[in-house]
A and B are shown apart, each in its own frame.
Chain A
Amino acid sequence: MKNKFKNNEKGFALPLVLLLLVVMTIMGTTLVTISSNEHKSNTEKDSNQQTFYAAESGISVAKKYMVGNTNTFNGSQSNLDGNLKFCKASFFPNLRTSNGFHYEKENLNKYISASGDEATRLGKFSFEYFIAYSPDQNGDNSSAKTKSGTNNTLYTIYSCGCNETKDKCNAQSNMIVPLEAVVTLVN
């Protein structure tokens, strides 16, 4: 009977606390992972949206160029494949040739006035566009087409937004949003 309690080292407090600690650590890490994944997806979505706007800016810039330089758009086209950096014809499902009149690439902060952090952020997005005759049903854009019932020539503006600067953007590793717009010039 001597020292019955003193020598009884059996307890449950330590294993219980350890178990709870392990379970809570696992839950805690999962929570952090879930949150950071959510954060990442949201950032990506945000970036994708901005890239879309970059492509849209490309179309606006292209339209502005067109109305200011109407003479450029009735001669012959040239093959732009070697000149285009990340906005290749292969991004557009209905285009198989790479002919075009004019191309340009620019960072977004050049056209959207902003200052400080916002300017830096916009500077990391860019667009590239090219303007060509609208392609026929086979994706061939070598000759001019007119809008049915009119004499207006149809042009297509192909524009790509990129979530990287115009010089660093790489079609393989960056996010590219391709956008096309069919336009006519009317006097």
Chain B
Amino acid sequence: MNALNFEIPPGTAIAVSMPDVLPAVKPRRGLTGFIRRQPTLAFGAFILLVMLFIAVFAPLLGTVDPTAIATARRTRAPSELYWFGTDMLGRDIYSRVFYGARVSLIVGFSVAALSSIIGLLIGLVSGFVRGVDSLIMRTMDGLMSIPPILLAVALMALTRGSISNVIIAITVAEIPRVARLVRSVVLSLREQPYVDAAIAAGTRTPAIIFKHILPNTLAPLIVQASYICAGAMIAESILSFIGAGIPPSTPSWGNIMAEGRALWQVKFYIVLFPAIFLSLTVLAVNLVGDGLRDMLDPRMAKDV
């Protein structure tokens, strides 16, 4: 009588089956498992989702028209009626802050996406085409020696303030860093045996770039993109704050703080609320970046 269904010769001693010394590791699945394994990423993503929710559903979250001017109720302190108070023109700061989430998120994500794509292309070309490499890299060096905010400020001085111009200005300032990162990854990948093998096998250069090089640049690029997203949100608020960004009629966190600047010593809440939202959002994006870095590249995790 045994499980294997063959005859055991009489008189044979059979070893008792061993108890399970090491119980099988059951990786936790689903949301709780994700939160346990990547607490930083989960926390950052949670705050970011809340901000995304606020931005998308701003009109439904008890807000009023964020541009409605009512001089009769200027600079009211936060109260039941005006949760975050009102500004110098009597506009409801709660509504302005909620609508302002849209500007920050749009600018942050657009700059991250655009500068990643353009920087990726430049970096790939530079890393693979010897002839143009030094020309491209010297140009990037030149652009990188202009402090990014000043570069964006200088570009904004050329045009009217608008969301798309702000996005373009910050993107231009961020491209060199992405291009450098991609190029350095490409250069180290080119030395890999599997790339040599592909070349030896007669694979065409475009196929090598897109099949063998590109996929391996994506992990560091995504991590970099999340930090760029955070940086772009800060840059947008700085540009708007100094009057070189989003036009003042559009509520953005930088604009609200700029309007509160004259009165900050007496009406601190005007700058306080947009400041809290901006910091929280940037923190969330940075945490997502840290989390992604730990997840995508465990070697880097112990470093920082």
* A and B held together in a complex: no
Interface on A for B, CB 8 Å cutoff?
Answer: none
Which residues of B come within 8 Å of A, CB atoms? none
